[in-house]
Structure 1
Amino acid sequence: MKIRYIVILLLLSSAVLPLYYHRQMQKLYLDAYYHKYRKMDAVKALDYGKKLLRDEKYGRLVDFLDDMLVLYPSDRNLRRMKGAALIKTGKTHEGARLVIASLGEREDLRTLSSIVEALFESKEYGDLAALFARHGTSGDPYLSYVYGVSLFHTGRAREARDTLNAALNAGKRDVDTRYYLGLSHEAVGENKKAAENLEEAYANYPLKPEVRSALVRLYRKTGEYDKAEKIIRRSLR
């Protein structure tokens, strides 16, 4: 057993140590190049990164920030800039996650609405729900809506209902808010409130198939078959 243990240890060491030494050598090289040759610290690196961002040299910026994050792995500003650059190169999901990981505890998400929207479009509801739980919505109607939808899709219908009501009261009264508010009411057994919101959504946008389907399903659930058939007939015209 001892021999077997030693063999396993040697094999692991042969795999891990080269990687460790490679990283150490990489860090030494980057330290010599950027600190000693280019005289660049974290502040100057950020300024240079902003210049590359303004010049729309996104691929070059990502490569540069990869180097900088070897030297300054905990620098939030550099991480956020890399996230923004990745989004510009089309890597929306990866970039948005990096930006979110760079957030401070009390940071206002209203300044990052485009990042939130990118995650929302990618249907990263779990990440969004966790994000808003930490940072809140600051009463913003759109952020409250996104939070409510994310809560609904992660199985927290009661919280979704309350959050979507907050979005509605803050001014986001469009068809999507009414639709998800209706679904949330239905999920917690409040069929009358569900019908009110789904009917409002349907009245404003009768051609939206998911709204139509949700209302038909609800009518059938509550035994209002005539109303359900009326919507179906109307959709066939």
Structure 2
Amino acid sequence: MTTQTKPIEAFSLPTPNGQKVHIMLEELCVPWNYHRIDIGKGEQFTPEFLAISPNNKIPAIVDPEGPGGEPISIFESGAILKYLGLKFGQFYPTDTRAQVKVDEWLFWQVGGFGPMLGQNNHFSVYAPEKIPYAIKRYSDETHRLFGVLNKQLEGQDYIAGDYSIADIASIGWAQSWERYGITREEFPNALAWIDRVGARSAVQSGLNWGKEAQGKSLADDKEAQKILFNQRAR
């Protein structure tokens, strides 16, 4: 098994996307350092951070012991999870068919489950105008996606069979199920999975990492909203 001598540097926040990386690093039990990027203050636009994450989004990591022993920087949470899974040989299978299954559900999360729940939250909480069509569209899609997850979990404990980066990628988004009107009665498999994954000590630690430094609620911080929303190319 690969060992890590120097800490992996994680540039992140305790958001669902940041939590994926926190959980993975905690599960791997490797040394790592947390660097808070205050996106409400525009720290994601600094030249130093953009050199690591050109899409100006968290999370991103720098592994000082990358391929060939040279440092490597990685942005996009799904890419980070795959890199770490492959490097350390954990939570990402070696069998090709099993890898495809994990990849399917990892990309399902990064391409649909996360973005759609994010849009649901945006139009329900942050949009200055409450647009019924937008709220219904993303509420319905959230409901549909929880249905897909619930069906996939029928008869099995984890999304892709064994516990993997597919579960790690999804739990941070899924844990806020009550906010979206999801019920245990309607989606029992999905909620049992949330309980099961959420009971893991590394998941609990990863979900809570950095929360003690949380500042003003974004819903109440109009200046931060100006920085975060409706950005155009710079």
TM-score normalised to structure 2 length: 0.27
Greater relative contact order (CA < 8 Å, ≥ 6 in sequence):
2
TM-score normalised to structure 1 length: 0.27
**Structure of greater Rg:** 1
Q: Which has the higher helix share?
A: 1
